Amino acid sequence: MSLFAGLRATPNDPIFGLTDRFNKDTDPNKVNLGVGMYQDAHGAVPLLKTVLKVENGLDAQGLPRPYPPMDGLADYNREAQKLVFGADSPAIAAGRIVTAQSLGGTGALTVAADVYSAASPNHAALVSSPTWANHIAILQRAGYTVGTYRYYDAQRHGVDVDGLLADLSAAEAGTVIVLHECCHNPTGYDLTREQWDAVAQLARDRRLTLFIDMAYQGFSEGLDEDAETIRRLVADGLTFVVGSSFSKNFSLYGERIGAVHFVCADADEAERVRSRVKTAARENYSTPPLHGARIVTTILSDEQLRAQWVEEVTAMRERIKSMRRALVDGLNAAGVHDMEFINTQAGMFSYCGLSKEQMELLRTEHHVYGTDAGRLCVAALNPGNVDYVATAIAAVRS
Ligand code: PLP
**Measured distance CA(180)–CA(127) in Å, rounded:** 9
What is the 201 CA–ligand 1 centroid distance (Å)?
Answer: 27
- Residue (of 210, 256, 205, 267) closest to 233 by Cα position: 210
What is the 318 CA–ligand 1 centroid distance (Å)?
Answer: 21
Query: Half-sphere exposure (CA, 13 Å, Cβ side) for 204?
Result: 11
**Measured distance CA(289)–CA(271) in Å, rounded:** 23
Q: What is the pTM of this model?
A: 0.96
Find out whether 147 and 184 touch, Cβ atoms under 8 Å: no
**Measured distance CA(246)–CA(211) in Å, rounded:** 18
- Strands 124-129 and 145-150, how do they pair? parallel
Element (H, E) at 243: strand 240-245
Atom of ligand 1 nearest to the CA of 258: 15
Q: What is the pLDDT of residues 175-211, one digit of tens each?
A: 999 999 999 999 999 999 999 999 999 999 999 999 9
Q: Per-residue confidence of the chain (398 residues) as pLDDT tens digits?
A: 899 999 998 877 777 789 999 999 999 999 999 989 999 999 999 999 999 999 999 989 999 999 999 999 999 999 999 999 999 999 999 999 999 999 999 999 999 999 999 888 789 999 999 999 999 999 999 999 999 999 999 999 999 999 999 999 999 999 999 999 999 999 999 999 999 999 999 999 999 999 999 999 999 999 999 999 999 999 999 999 999 999 999 999 999 999 999 999 999 999 999 999 999 999 999 999 999 999 999 999 999 999 999 999 999 999 999 999 999 999 999 999 999 999 999 999 999 999 999 999 999 999 999 999 999 999 999 999 999 999 999 999 98
Atom of ligand 1 nearest to the CA of 132: 3
| Protein residue whose Cα sits closest to atom 6 of ligand 1 | 215
Residue 13 has what pLDDT?
75
Is ligand 1 within 6 A of the CB of residue 258?
yes
Residue 73 has what pLDDT?
98
**Measured distance CA(228)–CA(248) in Å, rounded:** 19
Atom of ligand 1 nearest to the CA of 183: 3
**Which of 190, 216, 247, 257 to mutate to test ligand 1, by most ligand atoms within 8 A of the CB atom?**
247
- β-bridge mates for residue 213, sequence order: 180, 243
Atom of ligand 1 nearest to the CA of 246: 15
Find out whether 144 and 125 touch, Cβ atoms under 8 Å: yes
Ramachandran angles phi, psi of 58, nearest 5°: -65, -40
| Protein residue whose Cα sits closest to atom 9 of ligand 1 | 105
Is ligand 1 within 6 A of the CB of residue 186?
no
| Protein residue whose Cα sits closest to atom 1 of ligand 1 | 215
What is the 105 CA–ligand 1 centroid distance (Å)?
Answer: 5
Q: How many CB atoms lie within 10 A of CB 78?
A: 16
What DSSP assignment string belongs to 175-201? -EEEEESSS-TTT-----HHHHHHHHH
| Protein residue whose Cα sits closest to atom 2 of ligand 1 | 215
> What are the residue numbers of the active site?
132, 213, 248
Is ligand 1 within 6 A of the CB of residue 185?
yes
**Measured distance CA(203)–CA(207) in Å, rounded:** 5
Q: What is the pLDDT of residues 294-328, one digit of tens each?
A: 999 999 999 999 999 999 999 999 999 999 999 99
- The burial class, CB within 10 Å (0-12 / 13-18 / 19+), for 19 is middle
Residue 47 has what pLDDT?
98
CA torsion sign for 292, 295, 298, 301 is negative
- β-bridge mates for residue 195, sequence order: none
Find out whether 80 and 296 touch, Cβ atoms under 8 Å: yes
Residue 265 has what pLDDT?
97
Which residues contact residue 120 at a Cβ distance below 8 angstroms, ignoring those fewer than 6 apart?
144, 174, 176, 209
Atom of ligand 1 nearest to the CA of 106: 16
- Residue (of 69, 77, 119, 125) closest to 97 by Cα position: 77
Amino acid letter for position 306:
R
**Which of 101, 134, 255, 257 to mutate to test ligand 1, by most ligand atoms within 8 A of the CB atom?**
134
**Measured distance CA(313)–CA(251) in Å, rounded:** 9
Find out whether 164 and 213 touch, Cβ atoms under 8 Å: no
